[in-house]
Structure 1
Amino acid sequence: MNIAEFLEPSAWYRPDAGPRYVQLRRRLSDGVSQGVLAPGSPLPPEREIAAITDFSRVTVRKAIQALADEGTVIQRQGSGSYISSQPERIEQKLSRLTSFSEDMARRGKNSTSRWLERGLFMPSPDEMTALGLSADDSVARLVRLRLANGEPMAIERASLPTDILPNPLLVETSLYEVLERAGHRPIRALQKISAVNLRESEAELLAVTPKDAGLRIERTSYLANGRVAEFTQSLYRGDAYNFVAELRLSKD
């Protein structure tokens, strides 16, 4: 069944069953649950839905806004509305120091990246503090959108001293593979996790709705000799990850 047939009002609209926009919102939501509207697919434009249903565009707009408020629809300025894509949740153990590529490979998922920034830069105050750099030093910075099976999962910003990563362009997939070949793979790390609401630019990259929940993770990684090797600031989709930690009873 195509969307025009599905939205034909004679099949679902009842004059005595509540406001039109509420009934339309419910019908569109049913379309998502029944697979008529696939995750990630564009929603027909307001004018098209109005023509199919013979509802006003104000009514259609209210129905779509209600779907956006509940997270079923993502509205992207300039490109329309899309059905939200809900990825399978991934459980990530906090006791294991691995790369995103290694995590996805272990789960049988194909990991890809979209580069947002890669090169040598002047360090930010946070990078200077975390990596022990001065304002005259350079920092190797890698910023990318990480995807699993094509689904955006995280925005990752990794910063390293240039003697540990002199050429950021060598990193094509796994940063840790490059570091391991150079003998600079970290062996331990400290992580700080906090809950955030995603800004519009972040939400657009992660294919979610602005102000949706996200997880911000700061990780400082160390070499065997105790030196800081990497400072990573990552932003994960709140609906895609569960971070798991094992706790043991203290004997003290």
Structure 2
Amino acid sequence: MPDTSVFHQDAWFRPGRGSRYQQLQRHISTAILSGDLAPDDQLPPEREFAEIAQISRVTVRKAVSLLVADGLVEQRQGAGSFVRSAAPKLKQSLSSLVSFTENMLVRGMTSTSTVLLRGVFAPSPREILALGLSSQDRVTRIDRLRRTDDVPMAIEFSSLPQDILPDPGKVETSLYAVLRKKGCAPTRAVQRVTAINLERREAELLKLPEGSAVLKIERTGYLATGRPIEFTSGLYRSDIYDFVSELRRD
């Protein structure tokens, strides 16, 4: 069992920052993701946990149930609650132009999307630059939360010229599948990878503590003619996702 000081109330409780069970859940999530609590570390039994943290057993139970729902803790019958062993990270090549849906499909996994926003809008200065538009043009935007086997994996913000995708309602799961049916899917792309810390809204969607580090990938996709037709900015969970590139000597 890990050092119990990590569970002491003075380590995680701050007045006015939410209910105790939510603060405790966020604190343990951070400890797991930072490595302070390692895979297979056992949480104290409920009664002992409540005494250490100076809270009720109901509060402990609620916090642990949230950690279980987030996939960070598992409850083993007759043994207790343990930090879940880290699963192998999903790897995606940076040199292959495949969609999130296709990447999950080849791994035998089911991907789903929750549409956060979609519609046709006046382009922002960034979209004008990335897609070669004028201020009079219109862009189609689709923001989606991407899940794999019901685990939130990424948030993707995609923008396309309106003539490429006039009806954003046609996109349910795979944007590229819709574009391929129209014969206007990108044939090459330029990507930029950086690391950022999550703001509160994105952290809640990805079920991570606010400020968690994630991978940010900005991609501009081009037709064979050289026309830019897709600008996507994605936030990917770095705890379960790796992007891999292959380098060759010229």
Do the aligned partners of residues 56 and 166 (structure 1) sit closer, same or farther apart at CA in structure 2, a change above 3 Å counting?
Answer: same
Per-residue CA distance 1:96-134 (angstroms, 9 max, x = gap): 001111111011000000110011112112111111122
Contact 1:121 1:139 in 2 (8 A): yes
CA distance in 2, matches of 1:135, 1:20: 54
Do the aligned partners of residues 82 and 134 (structure 1) sit closer, same or farther apart at CA in structure 2, a change above 3 Å counting?
Answer: same
**Residue 33 (structure 1) aligned with residue 19 (structure 2):** no
Per-residue CA distance 1:50-83 (angstroms, 9 max, x = gap): xx4495696459xx9xxxxxxxx89xxxxx9534
1:186 aligns to what?
186
Alignment-mate amino acid for residue 129 of structure 1 = L
Per-residue CA distance 1:125-176 (angstroms, 9 max, x = gap): 2111111122222110010000001000000011000111111111112111
CA distance in 2, matches of 1:57, 1:132: 59
After the TM superposition, which segments of 4 or more aligned residues of structure 1 sit over 2 Å from their partners?
Answer: 17-22, 32-37, 52-61, 80-88
What aligned pairs does 1:68-147 form with structure 2 within 5 A after superposition?
A: 81-83=66-68, 84-85=70-71, 88-147=88-147
Matched-pair identity in %: 45
| Unpaired stretches in structure 2, ≥5 consecutive residues | 9-23, 73-86
TM-score, normalisation: structure 1: 0.71
SS in 2 for 1:112: strand
Contact 1:91 1:244 in 2 (8 A): yes
SS in 2 for 1:226: coil
Contact 1:20 1:59 in 2 (8 A): no
Contact 2:116 2:145 in 1 (8 A): yes
Alignment-mate amino acid for residue 149 of structure 1 = D
| Unpaired stretches in structure 1, ≥5 consecutive residues | 1-11, 38-48, 65-72, 75-79
After superposing the two structures, state which structure 1 stretch, 129-138 or 226-235, moved more.
129-138
Do the aligned partners of residues 136 and 211 (structure 1) sit closer, same or farther apart at CA in structure 2, a change above 3 Å counting?
Answer: same
Contact 1:138 1:161 in 2 (8 A): yes
**Residue 247 (structure 1) aligned with residue 247 (structure 2):** yes
Contact 1:21 1:59 in 2 (8 A): no
Do the aligned partners of residues 127 and 55 (structure 1) sit closer, same or farther apart at CA in structure 2, a change above 3 Å counting?
Answer: same
What aligned pairs does 1:229-244 form with structure 2 within 5 A after superposition?
A: 229-244=229-244
Count of residue pairs brought into register by the alignment: 205
Q: CA deviation at 1:194?
A: 0.2
What aligned pairs does 1:28-67 form with structure 2 within 5 A after superposition?
A: 33=40, 52-53=47-48, 59-60=54-55
Contact 2:94 2:243 in 1 (8 A): yes
Do the aligned partners of residues 221 and 129 (structure 1) sit closer, same or farther apart at CA in structure 2, a change above 3 Å counting?
Answer: same
Contact 2:120 2:140 in 1 (8 A): yes
CA distance in 2, matches of 1:247, 1:20: 43
Alignment-mate amino acid for residue 195 of structure 2 = A
SS in 2 for 1:82: helix
